[in-house]
Amino acid sequence: MVTQSQIAKIAGVSRATVERVINNRGDVNEKTRQRVLKIIEEMDYKPNPAGKTLAIKQRNLKIGCVIIKADNPFYEELNKGIREAAEEYKTYGIDVIIESAVFTAKAQTEKINELLEMGVNGLLIQPTIEPELADVLRRVEAQNIPIVTVNTDLPNYNSRLCYVGNDFYLCGKTAANLMQMLTRSTCRIGIVTGFFNAKSHSDRICGFRDFIADYPGMEIVDTRENQDDEMESYYVTRTMLEAHPEIDAVFLVAGGVKGACQAIRQQKEKTGRMISVISFDDVPTTKELVRDGTILATICQQPVRQGRMALSILFDYLVEGKTPENGRMYTDIQIKLRTNIDA
Amino acid sequence: MVTQSQIAKIAGVSRATVERVINNRGDVNEKTRQRVLKIIEEMDYKPNPAGKTLAIKQRNLKIGCVIIKADNPFYEELNKGIREAAEEYKTYGIDVIIESAVFTAKAQTEKINELLEMGVNGLLIQPTIEPELADVLRRVEAQNIPIVTVNTDLPNYNSRLCYVGNDFYLCGKTAANLMQMLTRSTCRIGIVTGFFNAKSHSDRICGFRDFIADYPGMEIVDTRENQDDEMESYYVTRTMLEAHPEIDAVFLVAGGVKGACQAIRQQKEKTGRMISVISFDDVPTTKELVRDGTILATICQQPVRQGRMALSILFDYLVEGKTPENGRMYTDIQIKLRTNIDA
DNA sequence: CTGAAAGCGCTTACAG
DNA sequence: CTGAAAGCGCTTACAG
């Protein structure tokens, strides 16, 4: 592999000039620039990332992260990915500052302001969808600070560097596809969602509806909201099943899986009929329900990977100047059954 | 983050001595060693990988890879992963030499010998299971050259640094789990495998059998071998379905998916009965069959990722001295349906 | 057993 | 517009 030094020697200029050409820093005579560019092309120069990464220590980069403060095992997984990546980047001499805030625009804004005070060069956030927050983020970007959103995105906000997470619409379609196959295209479906106004939840339901539109034998009987709360989930699922005893398939869109499944199990015992259940994510309680057969399949989104990828995109942008191709990086839609839930 | 230099200053020794302690190079007075170790511990020293990676250029490392020469889209994916990782490591100044050989012990041995001549420091191989090859690999390891196997492993050979690939047994179980759910635990199954004596194929069948042992309504009616060949696959599937018209589920264990599916489609047209099909991998022809509904689900193994991971394990071992925890790194068991086959 | 020096490839800050 | 020097953190080869 050829180095900047070797190119400098061939071009008859100094290393500094070659560096200026490569990194577009201007202040180079157009003729020498062209000559250097030609040599770079001919010799197929590729920068050695190790040199670049070592040198960034001199820039004192800071990356700020606003994560969600919640004792929720799913967020813990996501935060774990962010923390692991943070440890790695710290060894490179980048300061990664992690602040946790509850999931409101107000709390997040406060932490963002703190991070700006500290002079961060990039921001990672799992944003709420409130429009006040979008305004704050616009202010951040106005200061040339790149933003990466993780796990959930801002609606109608495309200036951020990248969104890292699932394609919720396609996840919903996949859930419907599974349910269609498991029920041989015939079922009465009860849906239990987290929040009617959470975009990720409504996107999943949207994908689900669009898929079953082609299957007249599949019918959505009722849709209820559980506020992502286990107790509420038990209550709404139980009352829904009591009101619609014909329900033989349940689509669990968000949290509250355990509560819903308790109601489902009781209903099955009472009526002796089978109910096909599909859920999202694989928090420990959900895993257990997949193992014991209550849930037939759960669709997972690699939260640890999301956290790592989000930070690595900021790193690549700040260190290598790489911009992600389109502003979205989707993690895999992972279908897990009893046999591969622990793989 | 603290550096070797800072530790040296605090300990009152030179950087070289600190480096000796860290990397266990011996030749250090036990007392100073203990003093330095204590400081490393207290200050939570973590090496900066960028420094390490930059310095390896001076070692002139060479990694040799023996890949499979075949115009098979699955191997192409795997080789793509290896090639991509190779490009990356070349920028670090590591020489990655890729040789392709047909899938026989003889051809692979020849390439291995060439690579040894060139003085490689590590070997990546997708090995055949022939015992002659195992002997050759033992000779390689005797020269302190680490070996990583990718995609398929050597039977009863555990001294290699790592195997990177799928857990075939669990894949087979997962295929059975899917089939059980899709057929509501009742079906007459025809199996079409690649080679009876290929370990990856027989492991999948073994996992499949073990799962359905708990479901008396599921019965394997016949098992045929297609030599991973499309024409042969068409022939054996067609004759199998003609001999056993009761078959309503087909498990495609290996290659020849397109040929088998053509026979399946004709049988469905003739009898008007449904046949549930499950396959492995997502080569372009298989993808198309998932899209059009002929195959209900295909189980994928991330071949590109396998290639990359295998090379990165060799890299980490040679550069950082990291040994993988247990000698196996399994890639995800990915279930793909019509809705997520293109995600 | 120990240390001083040079080198890996890149960037930065400064002098002209 | 251009170059010389110093620095990032690590390893290597050599001198003592």
> Over pLDDT 90: what percentage of chain A?
90
Cβ A16 to strand D below 7 Å: yes
Q: How confident is the model at residue A158 (pLDDT cuts 50, 70, 90)?
A: confident
Cβ B48 to strand D below 7 Å: yes
The whole-number average pLDDT for the span B142-165 is 93
Cβ B14 to strand C below 7 Å: yes
Rounded to 5°, the CA angle A265-A270-A276 comes to: 40
Q: Distance from residue A320 (CA) to nucleotide C13 (C1'), in Å?
A: 21
Residues 231-290 of A with CB under 7 A from strand D: none
Q: What is the pLDDT of residues A38-73, one digit of tens each?
A: 999 999 999 999 999 999 999 999 999 999 987 789
Q: What is the pLDDT of residues B18-60, one digit of tens each?
A: 999 999 987 888 889 999 999 999 999 999 999 999 999 999 9
Specify the 3-state DSSP secondary structure of A313.
helix
Q: Look at strands A334-336 and A297-300 and give their pairing.
A: antiparallel
pLDDT of residue B132: 93
The arrangement of strands across the sheet holding B62-68 comes to: B95-101, B62-68, B122-125, B147-150, B162-165, B328-330
Using CB atoms within 10 Å of the CB of residue B58, give its burial: 0 to 12 exposed, 13 to 18 middle, 19+ buried. exposed
The whole-number average pLDDT for the span B249-267 is 97
pLDDT of residue B320: 86
pLDDT of residue B47: 96
Question: Is residue A26 pLDDT above 80, yes or no?
Answer: no
DSSP single-letter state for residue B301: -
Q: Distance from residue B50 (CA) to nucleotide D8 (C1'), in Å?
A: 9
Q: Look at strands B122-125 and B147-150 and give their pairing.
A: parallel
CATH assignment, B59-166+303-331:
3.40.50.2300
Residue A112 near residue A141 (C-beta atoms within 8 A): no
Rounded to 5°, the CA angle B26-B31-B32 comes to: 70
Q: How confident is the model at residue B247 (pLDDT cuts 50, 70, 90)?
A: very high
pLDDT of residue B157: 87
Q: Which residues of B touch A (CB under 8 A)?
A: 1, 46-51, 53-54, 57, 90-93, 167, 170, 173-174, 176-178, 181-182, 184, 211, 296-297, 330, 332-335, 337-340, 343
By C-alpha to C1' distance, C6 is nearest to B58
Residue B261 near residue B294 (C-beta atoms within 8 A): yes
Question: Is residue B121 pLDDT above 90, yes or no?
Answer: yes
Residue A192 near residue A230 (C-beta atoms within 8 A): no
pLDDT of residue B270: 95
Q: What is the pLDDT of residues B157-187, one digit of tens each?
A: 889 999 999 999 999 999 999 999 999 999 9
Nearest chain A Cα distance for residue B109, angstroms? 29
Fold of A168-300: Rossmann fold (3.40.50)
**How far is it, in rounded angstroms, from Cα B215 to Cα B337?**
24
Give domain A4-47's CATH superfamily.
Answer: lambda repressor-like DNA-binding domains (1.10.260.40)
> Chain B: residue nearest A295 by CA?
B181
Q: How confident is the model at residue A27 (pLDDT cuts 50, 70, 90)?
A: confident
Q: What is the pLDDT of residues B50-91, one digit of tens each?
A: 999 999 999 999 999 999 987 789 999 999 999 999 999 999
The structure tokens 């990464």 sit at A53
Question: Is residue A76 pLDDT above 80, yes or no?
Answer: yes
Q: A52, A338, A340, A342: best mutation site toward chain B, by most B Cβ within 10 Å?
A: A340
Compute how many other C-beta atoms are within 10 angstroms of the C-beta atom of residue A30. Answer: 7
Domain ranges for chain A, please list them. 4-47, 59-166+303-331, 168-300
Question: A335–B330: do the CB atoms touch at under 8 Å?
Answer: no
Q: What is the pLDDT of residues A232-253, one digit of tens each?
A: 999 999 999 999 999 999 999 9
- Whether B59-166+303-331 and B168-300 share one fold: the answer is yes
Q: How confident is the model at residue B311 (pLDDT cuts 50, 70, 90)?
A: very high
Question: B334–A337: do the CB atoms touch at under 8 Å?
Answer: no
Question: A181–B176: do the CB atoms touch at under 8 Å?
Answer: no
Q: Mean pLDDT in chain A? A: 95
A vs B: CB pairs below 8 A: 99
